[in-house]
Amino acid sequence: MTDPTSQSQPAVDPALVARVKGILLQPKIEWLRIDGEFATNKSLFTRYAMILAAIGPVATLVGSLVFGHASIVSALVLAIVSYGLSLASVFILGLIINALASSFGGAPNPVQAMKLAVYASTASWIAGVFNLIPLLGWVSIIGGIYSLVLLFLGLPILMKVPEDKKIVYFIVILIAGLILGFIMAAIVGAIALTFVASTAGLAAMGAGY
């Protein structure tokens, strides 16, 4: 007899795949499903965000090593920093969404707001796979735009915002998100420049000997 427990488990969680397909292909239906689900901030990140957010940094790491001239150490550090900041950005965005809800007639709910921030980011995270080929990296912008569409569609469902106020609510969140994105990009850029400068310095020292 075959021991059921010995059967191999799927490499990717079917529930995660189903959620990705649902939110990308049938967002309105999926948001309604998400609205009624029990979740915690921990489960949202450990079972979903931490997995999908790794796509872009890993793709960038591989692409920079295969097609670029980055050192393994610098590419790895930048990938780790980008990954951490991506998760931090989504967490902060969830806090912002919740903090602004009552100002626009919505119902503040920390978990619902975090659901919105996490699941709306799906398109952007999936599109990060295009970073494998530097010349196609710009395609990931399309994923970012679609994530904004997902956010707009989910806003009234999860945060219970009146239809006449959802556009202004969305615009305020968008502005806050853009500011947050610029800050995170600046941090990554500063770290990248530090590595470039240190690498150039080491090369100059080596040339001097």
b/e per residue 18-39 (b: at least 16 CB within 10 A): ebbebbeeebeebbeebeeeeb
What is the chain's mean pLDDT, rounded?
87
Q: Where are the domains of the chain?
A: 13-198
Q: What is the value of pTM for the model shown?
A: 0.86
- For 186-197, write each residue's pLDDT tens digit: 887 787 777 655
Higher pLDDT, 70 or 73: 73
Does residue 174 register a pLDDT over 60? yes
Q: Which residue has the tokens 């915690």?
A: 40
Predicted pLDDT at 140: 85
Does residue 203 register a pLDDT over 50? no
What type of residue is 165? K
- For 74-129, write each residue's pLDDT tens digit: 888 888 999 999 999 999 999 999 999 999 999 999 999 999 999 999 999 999 99
